Chains A and B, each alone.
Chain A
Amino acid sequence: DAMVIQNPRYQVTQFGKPVTLSCSQTLNHNVMYWYQQKSSQAPKLLFHYYDKDFNNEADTPDNFQSRRPNTSFCFLDIRSPGLGDAAMYLCATSRDGGYEQYFGPGTRLTVT
Protein backbone atom coordinates (compact mmCIF):
# COMPACT_ATOMS: atom_id res chain seq x y z
CA ASP A 1 0.00 0.00 0.00
CA ALA A 2 1.15 3.51 -0.77
CA MET A 3 2.00 5.27 2.42
CA VAL A 4 3.92 7.82 4.46
CA ILE A 5 6.49 6.39 6.83
CA GLN A 6 8.15 8.15 9.71
CA ASN A 7 11.17 6.98 11.65
CA PRO A 8 11.68 6.67 14.46
CA ARG A 9 8.25 6.63 16.10
CA TYR A 10 9.74 7.75 19.39
CA GLN A 11 12.90 9.79 19.81
CA VAL A 12 14.54 10.91 23.01
CA THR A 13 17.27 13.51 22.82
CA GLN A 14 19.15 15.66 25.26
CA PHE A 15 18.80 19.39 25.56
CA GLY A 16 20.96 20.97 22.86
CA LYS A 17 21.86 17.71 21.12
CA PRO A 18 21.02 17.75 17.39
CA VAL A 19 18.39 15.33 16.22
CA THR A 20 17.09 14.28 12.80
CA LEU A 21 13.65 12.91 12.06
CA SER A 22 12.97 11.02 8.87
CA CYS A 23 10.00 10.78 6.53
CA SER A 24 9.57 8.73 3.38
CA GLN A 25 6.67 8.30 1.00
CA THR A 26 5.66 5.82 -1.66
CA LEU A 27 2.86 8.02 -3.03
CA ASN A 28 5.16 9.90 -5.41
CA HIS A 29 3.62 13.17 -4.27
CA ASN A 30 5.13 16.51 -5.18
CA VAL A 31 4.64 18.22 -1.85
CA MET A 32 5.99 17.18 1.53
CA TYR A 33 5.15 18.94 4.78
CA TRP A 34 6.47 18.98 8.33
CA TYR A 35 4.14 19.83 11.18
CA GLN A 36 4.69 20.23 14.89
CA GLN A 37 1.81 19.21 17.11
CA LYS A 38 1.65 19.80 20.83
CA SER A 39 -0.87 18.24 23.15
CA SER A 40 -4.50 19.06 22.38
CA GLN A 41 -3.55 21.46 19.61
CA ALA A 42 -3.92 21.48 15.86
CA PRO A 43 -0.85 20.66 13.78
CA LYS A 44 1.33 23.70 13.16
CA LEU A 45 3.03 23.87 9.78
CA LEU A 46 6.79 24.34 10.02
CA PHE A 47 7.70 24.22 6.32
CA HIS A 48 7.04 22.35 3.14
CA TYR A 49 8.75 21.35 -0.06
CA TYR A 50 7.08 21.71 -3.42
CA ASP A 51 9.33 19.41 -5.42
CA LYS A 52 12.73 20.87 -4.54
CA ASP A 53 11.45 24.32 -3.63
CA PHE A 54 11.65 24.93 0.10
CA ASN A 55 8.97 27.06 1.75
CA ASN A 56 9.50 28.13 5.33
CA GLU A 57 6.70 29.46 7.51
CA ALA A 58 7.45 32.92 8.84
CA ASP A 59 7.29 31.90 12.48
CA THR A 60 9.32 28.69 12.23
CA PRO A 61 12.40 29.05 14.45
CA ASP A 62 15.82 28.96 12.79
CA ASN A 63 16.57 25.97 14.99
CA PHE A 64 14.46 23.88 12.59
CA GLN A 65 15.85 22.91 9.20
CA SER A 66 14.78 20.50 6.52
CA ARG A 67 16.25 18.57 3.62
CA ARG A 68 14.63 16.79 0.74
CA PRO A 69 17.31 14.86 -1.14
CA ASN A 70 14.83 13.22 -3.51
CA THR A 71 11.10 12.86 -4.13
CA SER A 72 10.67 10.09 -1.60
CA PHE A 73 12.54 11.36 1.43
CA CYS A 74 12.39 14.41 3.64
CA PHE A 75 14.24 15.11 6.89
CA LEU A 76 13.62 17.43 9.78
CA ASP A 77 16.73 18.59 11.61
CA ILE A 78 16.53 20.27 14.98
CA ARG A 79 19.91 21.81 15.56
CA SER A 80 19.70 22.52 19.28
CA PRO A 81 16.53 21.11 20.79
CA GLY A 82 15.05 22.91 23.74
CA LEU A 83 12.50 21.64 26.21
CA GLY A 84 9.84 23.55 24.31
CA ASP A 85 10.52 21.49 21.19
CA ALA A 86 9.13 18.35 22.78
CA ALA A 87 6.13 17.49 20.62
CA MET A 88 4.73 15.15 18.01
CA TYR A 89 6.23 15.80 14.59
CA LEU A 90 4.05 14.89 11.65
CA CYS A 91 5.08 14.46 8.07
CA ALA A 92 2.47 14.75 5.33
CA THR A 93 2.37 14.64 1.56
CA SER A 94 0.02 15.86 -1.13
CA ARG A 95 0.01 15.57 -4.89
CA ASP A 96 -0.23 19.34 -5.24
CA GLY A 97 -0.70 22.35 -3.03
CA GLY A 98 -4.12 22.73 -1.46
CA TYR A 99 -5.18 19.15 -2.04
CA GLU A 100 -5.72 16.52 0.61
CA GLN A 101 -2.70 15.64 2.67
CA TYR A 102 -1.71 12.17 3.73
CA PHE A 103 -0.04 11.87 7.09
CA GLY A 104 2.52 9.56 8.57
CA PRO A 105 2.08 8.15 12.07
CA GLY A 106 4.29 10.83 13.60
CA THR A 107 7.46 10.91 15.69
CA ARG A 108 7.08 11.68 19.37
CA LEU A 109 10.11 13.74 20.43
CA THR A 110 11.12 13.96 24.06
CA VAL A 111 13.82 16.38 25.19
CA THR A 112 15.54 15.64 28.50
Chain B
Amino acid sequence: AQSVTQPDIHITVSEGASLELRCNYSYGATPYLFWYVQSPGQGLQLLLKYFSGDTLVQGIKGFEAEFKRSQSSFNLRKPSVHWSDAAEYFCAVGSPNTGNQFYFGTGTSLTVIP
Protein backbone atom coordinates (compact mmCIF):
# COMPACT_ATOMS: atom_id res chain seq x y z
CA ALA B 1 0.00 0.00 0.00
CA GLN B 2 1.10 3.51 -0.70
CA SER B 3 2.13 5.64 2.24
CA VAL B 4 3.96 8.81 3.13
CA THR B 5 5.98 9.22 6.30
CA GLN B 6 7.16 12.43 7.85
CA PRO B 7 9.28 11.27 10.77
CA ASP B 8 9.50 14.62 12.51
CA ILE B 9 6.29 15.81 14.13
CA HIS B 10 7.80 19.08 15.25
CA ILE B 11 11.02 20.94 14.45
CA THR B 12 12.41 24.13 15.97
CA VAL B 13 15.08 26.15 14.20
CA SER B 14 16.63 29.54 14.72
CA GLU B 15 15.95 32.29 12.23
CA GLY B 16 18.69 32.28 9.61
CA ALA B 17 19.58 28.64 10.17
CA SER B 18 19.19 26.00 7.49
CA LEU B 19 16.21 23.66 7.42
CA GLU B 20 15.60 20.13 6.24
CA LEU B 21 12.24 18.41 6.58
CA ARG B 22 12.17 14.71 5.91
CA CYS B 23 9.70 12.78 3.79
CA ASN B 24 9.77 9.10 2.91
CA TYR B 25 7.29 7.33 0.70
CA SER B 26 6.29 3.82 -0.11
CA TYR B 27 5.05 3.42 -3.62
CA GLY B 28 5.20 0.79 -6.32
CA ALA B 29 5.89 3.05 -9.26
CA THR B 30 7.63 6.36 -9.66
CA PRO B 31 5.39 8.73 -7.79
CA TYR B 32 4.57 12.35 -8.24
CA LEU B 33 5.81 14.15 -5.13
CA PHE B 34 4.68 17.40 -3.55
CA TRP B 35 5.33 19.65 -0.61
CA TYR B 36 2.65 21.90 0.80
CA VAL B 37 2.73 24.56 3.51
CA GLN B 38 -0.18 25.53 5.72
CA SER B 39 -0.27 28.60 7.92
CA PRO B 40 -2.68 28.56 10.87
CA GLY B 41 -6.30 28.83 9.81
CA GLN B 42 -5.43 28.74 6.11
CA GLY B 43 -5.59 26.32 3.23
CA LEU B 44 -2.62 24.43 1.87
CA GLN B 45 -0.25 26.14 -0.54
CA LEU B 46 1.83 24.17 -3.01
CA LEU B 47 5.56 24.80 -2.47
CA LEU B 48 6.96 22.55 -5.16
CA LYS B 49 6.41 19.36 -7.11
CA TYR B 50 8.40 16.61 -8.74
CA PHE B 51 7.18 14.59 -11.69
CA SER B 52 10.34 13.53 -13.49
CA GLY B 53 13.68 14.78 -14.71
CA ASP B 54 16.10 16.75 -12.57
CA THR B 55 15.89 15.33 -9.07
CA LEU B 56 16.52 18.69 -7.42
CA VAL B 57 13.47 20.90 -7.76
CA GLN B 58 13.09 24.52 -6.86
CA GLY B 59 9.94 25.92 -5.37
CA ILE B 60 8.48 29.11 -4.09
CA LYS B 61 9.69 31.05 -1.05
CA GLY B 62 13.27 29.82 -1.48
CA PHE B 63 12.48 26.15 -0.85
CA GLU B 64 13.95 23.22 -2.72
CA ALA B 65 13.57 19.46 -2.50
CA GLU B 66 15.58 16.52 -3.70
CA PHE B 67 14.16 13.24 -4.94
CA LYS B 68 16.30 10.25 -4.02
CA ARG B 69 14.89 7.10 -5.50
CA SER B 70 17.34 4.81 -3.70
CA GLN B 71 16.19 6.17 -0.35
CA SER B 72 12.54 6.68 -1.30
CA SER B 73 12.87 10.19 0.03
CA PHE B 74 11.85 13.68 -0.98
CA ASN B 75 13.30 16.00 1.65
CA LEU B 76 12.51 19.69 1.73
CA ARG B 77 15.30 22.19 2.35
CA LYS B 78 15.83 25.87 2.80
CA PRO B 79 19.26 27.43 3.35
CA SER B 80 18.12 30.26 5.62
CA VAL B 81 14.83 30.19 7.48
CA HIS B 82 12.74 33.31 8.04
CA TRP B 83 10.30 33.81 10.91
CA SER B 84 7.45 33.79 8.39
CA ASP B 85 8.28 30.17 7.50
CA ALA B 86 6.75 28.99 10.77
CA ALA B 87 3.89 26.76 9.64
CA GLU B 88 2.80 23.17 9.10
CA TYR B 89 4.45 21.35 6.21
CA PHE B 90 2.91 18.38 4.43
CA CYS B 91 4.55 16.00 2.02
CA ALA B 92 2.24 14.28 -0.46
CA VAL B 93 2.41 11.54 -3.07
CA GLY B 94 0.21 11.10 -6.09
CA SER B 95 0.08 9.17 -9.30
CA PRO B 96 -2.34 9.38 -12.19
CA ASN B 97 -1.60 5.74 -12.94
CA THR B 98 -3.47 4.58 -9.87
CA GLY B 99 -6.60 6.58 -10.46
CA ASN B 100 -6.75 9.81 -8.53
CA GLN B 101 -4.73 8.50 -5.61
CA PHE B 102 -3.17 11.20 -3.49
CA TYR B 103 -1.69 10.66 -0.04
CA PHE B 104 -0.61 13.17 2.56
CA GLY B 105 1.97 12.66 5.23
CA THR B 106 1.06 13.50 8.81
CA GLY B 107 2.83 16.84 8.68
CA THR B 108 5.75 18.56 10.38
CA SER B 109 5.19 21.64 12.47
CA LEU B 110 7.97 24.20 12.16
CA THR B 111 8.73 26.74 14.87
CA VAL B 112 11.21 29.52 14.16
CA ILE B 113 12.88 31.21 17.10
CA PRO B 114 14.54 34.63 16.88
CA distance A59 to B84 in the complex (A): 36
A103 touching B44 in the complex, CB below 8 Å, given contacts A41-B106, A42-B90, A42-B106: yes
Contact B100 A97 (CB under 8 A): yes
Q: Is B72 an interface residue (CB 8 A)?
A: no
**Inside 8 A of B96's CB, which chain A residues have their CB?**
96-99
Instruction: Tell me which of A48, A98, A103, A108 contacts B94 (CB under 8 A).
Output: A98
**Inside 8 A of A96's CB, which chain B residues have their CB?**
96
Instruction: Tell me which of A45, A50, A97, A105 contacts B43 (CB under 8 A).
Output: A105
Q: Is B109 an interface residue (CB 8 A)?
A: yes
CA distance A72 to B100 in the complex (A): 19
**B-facing mask of A29-44, CB < 8 A → 1, else 0?**
0010000000011110
Q: How many residues of B contact A (CB 8 A)?
A: 27
- The winner among B32, B43, B98 for most chain A CB atoms within 10 A is B43
Q: Is A90 an interface residue (CB 8 A)?
A: yes
Q: Is B95 an interface residue (CB 8 A)?
A: yes
**Inside 8 A of B34's CB, which chain A residues have their CB?**
100
Smallest CB–CB gap between A11 and chain B, Å? 14
Interface residues of B in 15-40 (CB under 8 A from A): 32, 34, 36
Q: Is A64 an interface residue (CB 8 A)?
A: no
Smallest CB–CB gap between B76 and chain A, Å? 15
Q: Is B13 an interface residue (CB 8 A)?
A: no
Identify 15 residue pairs between A and B in the complex whose beta-carbon atoms are under 8 Å apart, listed by A's number: A4-B43, A40-B109, A42-B90, A42-B104, A42-B105, A48-B100, A90-B44, A96-B96, A99-B94, A100-B49, A101-B44, A103-B43, A104-B43, A106-B41, A108-B41
Which residues of chain A have a CB within 8 Å of any CB of chain B?
4, 6, 31, 40-43, 45, 48, 50, 55, 88, 90, 92, 94, 96-106, 108
